[in-house]
Amino acid sequence: MINYTIPKRDMMFVLFELLDYEQHLQTLSGPEALSRDVVEAIVDECGKFCENVIAPLNSSGDKEGCHWQDGVVTTPKGFKEAYQQYVAGGWPSMTHPVEYGGQGLPVSMETLVSDMVGAANWAWGMYPGLSHGAMHTLSMHGTDEQKSTYLTKLVAGEWTGTMCLTESHCGTDLGMLRTKAEPQGDCSYTISGSKIFISAGEHDLTENIVHIVLARIPGAPEGTKGISLFIVPKFLPDEAGAVGPRNAVSCASIEHKMGIHANATCVLNFDGAKGFLIGEPNRGLHYMFTFMNNARLGTAVQGLSHAQLGFQKSLSYAKERLQSRSLSGVKNPAGPADPIIVHPDVRRMLLTQKAMAEGGRMLAYSTALLVDKDACASDEDQRKEASELLALLTPIAKAFMTETGFECASLALQCFGGHGYIQEWGVEQNLRDSRIAMLYEGTTGIQALDLLGRKILMTQGESLKRFTKIIHKYCKSQEGNDQMAEFIEPLAAKNKEWGELTLHIGMKAMSNPDEVGAAAVDYLMYSGLVTFAYWWARAAEVALAKQDEAFYAAKLTTARFFYQRLLPRTLSHAAAMKTGVDGLLALDAEHFSFE
């Protein structure tokens, strides 16, 4: 088994050479402006935890899985001890408010941690990871009392949180949800219903779990406008804030899944459980969406994590595995065969992973800086700009990075030949684990509709223009830089075409809204490729100034690979999305198959 090593040099490259993170932190009001030294120290510390504590539990956790018995869930061996170390290290509190025990660091630091924790052991990382959603929701919408009762415990890592949305008959379409919340007249509600797919919904890592639950108050409007949000703790806090009586919420079963075996995906039954309203009634979905964007960016990082882990494993194998000779002559005369990394097709697979993982890191980190700005840029215009860019880039990052994360995980397996199909190397687990990311927090199809329909067409393309203008300006700024021409010319052309395709589909959608759905996924993948192309051009620019060093030469080579081999995928996506909806709707549903 080849273990995970944090890609520190790549992380620092993105933060400090590409994004000027120190400067960025200066512009925020609120979080402390960390120096590069401090950021590096934090990364080193977290890296040690990831490499030494949770990465070794990744495979054993997958094999052992979670156990359910009579409503009690036991996590795999070592998970609880790892969690205790994580809490002792203060990691849960890092980016949360100082007044509730947090360290008040900028939220972007969470993305760095997630990059490392996710690649080391995604299934483990989901236990503390899910808490962040609950914490952000409480921070933003909870009362002072709710914050001091629940947020303090979550920040300390003593309790964890969940987000309870899905029911068996509704996932995407939350307007249909049936869980009921009946007011008891004492500011509490009685919650009844059943939720499914609740990640970390029950476990043995902490003494209590705080469920954040969507439910419907009797008499509320139908559909999405009648949904409210509630706190439903597993154990009700006593007057001192400690764990008190058990609440009527129980874990009926855990799912048997393709991957992330070590994370408990729970069916939760609320049998008249006591719950407490968050914010105003019927605003639940609105509150949830503020948090959903963060969750989507978190899931984007999952794509990056699996691409990174698969890349490390397959690279290491490709350097060691001796098999056949290079077509252009023996490269390893001392050995019985050449290492397979000499074969151009193996390099194609490795470079695809490298370009996607490192491109994903650039997009994830740059988006994390927008999250910082959205939350606490000192300048109001900057804040608005960040918020709107974030709305545009979130579905792109989520869907494109998870789709390519899965693709890369499959390429990693392919580099191993038949050995990749065996559990031993961990690449088949990486592929299985990666597959969920295209589904939860909104499928690729849903992200694509959000991007093209809600974000772009509903703003008459304004939202897209905000980003294409940035790319346009960047291209202008590089005019006359001959060394950059190989990147800037195709980037400028694709950027222009992006706008044209949007207009083309927008026009068609005016006469038939189904045109949006027909184009959406190809449009999203196209958008992801252009977004990555922008970041790879930026990386190439940095690297060109320093290409004498091998590290920068490698960045430049990878940028070229991206432009030569991956960006051309835009050609097929553009052609496919232009064909429109008619071919898709021509068949009656009953004529899809015949016996």
Which of the residues 441, 497, 500, 595 is marked catalytic?
441
Given candidates 184, 423, 460, 481, which one binds a second copy under the rule CB under 8 A? 423
Min dist. Cβ of residue 173 to a second copy (A): 4
Given candidates 312, 404, 463, 527, which one binds a second copy under the rule CB under 8 A? 312
Q: To the nearest 10°, report the CA torsion of 534, 540, 541, 543.
A: 150
Min dist. Cβ of residue 565 to a second copy (A): 5
Strand pairing category for 243-246 and 72-74: unpaired
**Binding to a second copy by residue 561, rule CB under 8 A?**
yes
Length of the chain: 595
Specify the 3-state DSSP secondary structure of 215: strand
Given candidates 9, 144, 333, 381, which one binds a second copy under the rule CB under 8 A? 9
CA atoms within 13 A on the CB side of 160: 26
**Binding to a second copy by residue 474, rule CB under 8 A?**
no
Given candidates 180, 257, 383, 465, which one binds a second copy under the rule CB under 8 A? 257
Interacting stretch for a second copy, rule CB under 8 A, among 27-35, 293-301, 361-369, 434-442? 434-442
Contacts (Cβ under 8 Å, ≥6 apart) of 408: 306, 307, 310, 311, 352, 353, 356, 357
How far apart CA 356 and CA 529 sit, in angstroms, is 10
Binding residues for a second copy, how many (CB under 8 A)? 107
* Structural tokens at position 565: 């081999």
Closest CA to 230 of 339, 328, 142: 142
Min dist. Cβ of residue 97 to a second copy (A): 32
How far apart CA 220 and CA 222 sit, in angstroms, is 6
Nearer to a second copy, 185 or 329 (CB): 329
Interacting stretch for a second copy, rule CB under 8 A, among 153-161, 375-383, 444-452, 494-502? 444-452
Given candidates 156, 236, 439, 542, which one binds a second copy under the rule CB under 8 A? 439
Q: What are phi and psi of 246, to 5 degrees?
A: -70, 135
* Structural tokens at position 554: 């490698």
What does 30-90 look like in DSSP terms, one character per residue? SS----HHHHHHHHHHHHHHIIIIIGGGHHHHHHH--EEETTEEEPPTTHHHHHHHHHHTT
**Binding to a second copy by residue 19, rule CB under 8 A?**
no
Nearer to a second copy, 479 or 489 (CB): 489
Specify the 3-state DSSP secondary structure of 194: strand
Interacting stretch for a second copy, rule CB under 8 A, among 209-217, 335-343, 465-473, 534-542? 335-343
**Binding to a second copy by residue 480, rule CB under 8 A?**
no
**Binding to a second copy by residue 413, rule CB under 8 A?**
yes
**Binding to a second copy by residue 170, rule CB under 8 A?**
yes
Min dist. Cβ of residue 273 to a second copy (A): 23
Min dist. Cβ of residue 451 to a second copy (A): 12
Q: What are phi and psi of 231, to 5 degrees?
A: -95, 125
Nearer to a second copy, 247 or 570 (CB): 570
Given candidates 270, 440, 526, 536, which one binds a second copy under the rule CB under 8 A? 440
Catalytic, 515? Answer no
Min dist. Cβ of residue 418 to a second copy (A): 5
Residues 574 to 593 in contact with a second copy, rule: CB under 8 A: 575-576, 579, 581, 583-589, 591-593
Nearer to a second copy, 141 or 195 (CB): 195
What does 425-482 look like in DSSP terms, one character per residue? GSHHHHHHHHHGGGTTTS-HHHHHHIIIIIIIGGGTTHHHHHHHHHHHHHHHHTTT-G
Given candidates 41, 176, 242, 510, which one binds a second copy under the rule CB under 8 A? 176
Closest CA to 362 of 3, 2, 7: 7
Tell me the Cα Rg of the chain: 24
> Residue 295 is inside which H or E element, if any?
helix 284-320
Residues 109 to 168 in contact with a second copy, rule: CB under 8 A: 166
**Binding to a second copy by residue 177, rule CB under 8 A?**
no
* Structural tokens at position 253: 């079963």
Given candidates 422, 458, 503, 545, which one binds a second copy under the rule CB under 8 A? 422
**Binding to a second copy by residue 510, rule CB under 8 A?**
no
By rule CB under 8 A, what string of x and - marks binding of each residue 216-255 to a second copy? ---------------------------------------x
Q: Which residues are catalytic?
A: 441
